[in-house]
Amino acid sequence: MSYLITKKRKIADDEFDIWIKAPLIASSAGPGQFVVIRSHDGAERIPLTIADSNSETGEIRIIYQVVGTSTQKLSKVECGEYIMNVAGPLGKPSEMCSQKKVIVIGGGVGIAAILPIVKALHRLENHVVTILGAKNKDYIILREELDEYSDELIITTNDGSEGFKGFVTDILSNKLENGFEVDCAWAVGPTVMMKAVSVIAGINVFPVWTSLNPIMIDGTGMCGGCRVKVDGEVKFACVDGPEFDGRFVDWDNLTQRQRQYGDEEKESYHKCNLDGY
């Protein structure tokens, strides 16, 4: 099999925005779902969230950050070239609500994952407050698109180069203190961010959907590598998730399991760079 990259744009120093021709996936993808991509023979299978899809043109959109060997190699595939495998849409779609007050938080490259969620929430007539956080202004992506579907868009950066200086949790706490009665929330981004938002949601008693990103291989429930602990139970992020109410997620266990192949990842990335990728 092979899949054509139809558009490619570098949107930050190490972040790429690509569209891939995959008509079957484009026509069935829902917010919150992901694909497993294997860019070439010998490559890993890596899960990436679907940022957008167009069933008319048969394309799906993936926004990713280069973090290791697989994403580095993927980043070398140009517009008009092909990648070997794209399987999906995987995981359960986000559990949507309508006519509610919703806060959606995206951190770093996780901002890409909240785009389809914000779009769907907007379509279902929710009042959507979107909070974006990143290390600096260069990593605040998809600003215009998210603004279009949000009732309010708030930006924070760690260095204050755009919007408020600080963290998304500062904005969230502030919003709640000022009497915003949130019905439910989404938070997608680095594990530490999702954990911090979940703590606030726990104290203030509202559900917060977080998209978990443990190590995965097949993405179809076959290997059990992506198992996470939620409310004391073992769940497979690939088929039971990837979204779980963050209030019940064992975040420390997730962090510990994400580090499992740290040494091997370094070794592989080193070789990847030596090989000239």
Question: Using the rule CB under 8 A, is 203 a contact of another protein?
Answer: no
Q: How far apart are CA 17 and CA 85, in angstroms?
A: 18
Distance CA 232, CA 163 (A): 38
Q: For the chain, how far is it from start to end, CA to CA, in angstroms?
A: 23
Q: Which of 184, 215 has the CB closer to another protein?
A: 215
Residues composing the chain: 277
Binding range to another protein, per CB under 8 A, among 139-147, 156-164, 197-205, 220-228 = 220-228
13 CB-contact burial (10 Å; exposed 0-12 / middle 13-18 / buried 19+): exposed
- In whole angstroms, the minimum distance from the beta carbon of 155 to another protein comes to 35
Task: Kindly identify the residues of this chain, within the stretch 43-62, that bind another protein according to CB under 8 A.
Answer: 43-45
Shortest CB 60 distance to another protein, Å? 12
Under DSSP, the state recorded for 265 is H
How far is Cα of residue 258 from the mean position of the Cα atoms in its chain?
15
Among 183, 202, 217, 248, binds another protein (CB under 8 A): 217
Which 8-state DSSP code applies to residue 258?
Answer: H
CA 271 distance to own-chain centroid: 27
- 21 touching another protein, by CB under 8 A: no
Choice from 99, 136, 158, 256 touching another protein (CB under 8 A): 256
The site for another protein (CB under 8 A) is made up of: 1, 24-25, 28, 38, 42-45, 69-70, 73, 84-90, 217-218, 220-225, 227, 229, 234, 236, 239, 250, 253, 256-257, 259-261, 264-265, 267-268, 271-272
